Homo-oligomer: A and B are copies of this chain.
């Protein structure tokens, strides 16, 4: 059974189902585990790892339209190098500070592979769910897509023998910077009372749309030209189609994908500094999920 099938099984067993985080009373809680082999390419600094791991959980809090309160992390590694550990903690603390949350520490564990489990908390009295999208709503995404895809290419390039040392250093620095996304707490709060449905784009835009469609029983008509493709992914892809494909399916960008009634979009934009781009509209379920009129496949990143 792969991870998606296993998650579906758990959804049937457990309440609440499907959303980016669980809600207990007004407390939003979410947990994630990341590890070296699949989540932190060679060249990822521990500072970036701390930022990104905790950021991934904060992104789930953002997707619920909640305020971020705090986060914890369990850090597992073969050995505890003081500098690495402190860099990790600084990254974790900094991403929390960036969104007004508090990093309150965690646990250490000896483990063969560098592994991080993070949990973030937030508050909302009206959680934003994946269900609720209505035909006629606009589909919006925050920020830009493709940053993590670009970062991965840069990490790979830096690791190649033929890359000159100076270029490799620059690539690593840029890749680390791209990896340190800002969790969309502020945008999530702007969407909270106005969007009809939302989730984060951690599995890629295509997969997110399929998940929203299933939860909301709707379809989507997406306009590829409207998708906010990050410059970084355009830079690393030789062809524009490739950049679009990476931005649409690679995922790991931790932007928000939300459905918003057309007359509420201006209010959302006024309430956040982050760009909110309309990329298409919600349609009837029987009209499917399309991009420029063609079927948009349910293809993306299955987290390992």
Contacts and interface: CB of A to CB of B under 8 A. Distances in A.
A34 interface: yes
B29 A104 contact: yes
A6 B82 contact: yes
A51 to B, nearest CB: 16
Contacts of A104: 14, 16, 22, 24, 29
Interface residues of A, number: 55
A111 B103 contact: no
A181 B31 CA distance: 24
Interface in A206-264: none
A274 interface: no
A121 interface: yes
Nearest to A70: B24
A290 interface: no
A162 interface: no
B74 A29 contact: no
A7 interface: yes
Nearest to A303: B109
Given A2-B80, A29-B70, A113 B110 contact: no
A115 B73 CA distance: 14
B82 A27 contact: no
Contacts of A161: none
A134 interface: no
A22 B109 contact: no
Given A69-B27, A115-B33, A108 B74 contact: no
Interface in A190-204: none
A109 B72 CA distance: 18
A1 B81 contact: yes
A239 to B, nearest CB: 31
B24 A89 contact: no
A74 B131 CA distance: 24
A144 interface: no
Interface string A77-89: 0011110011001
A296 interface: no
A91 to B, nearest CB: 13
Contacts of A108: 3, 6-7, 10
The 7 closest A-B pairs by CB, nearest first: A117-B117, A22-B104, A6-B80, A33-B74, A119-B119, A33-B109, A31-B72
17 contacts: A1-B81, A1-B82, A3-B80, A3-B108, A5-B80, A9-B86, A14-B93, A22-B72, A24-B102, A27-B121, A29-B72, A31-B107, A32-B107, A33-B76, A76-B115, A113-B113, A115-B115
Given A6-B108, A9-B82, A31-B119, 6 more contacts: A16-B105, A29-B104, A31-B73, A31-B107, A107-B117, A109-B303
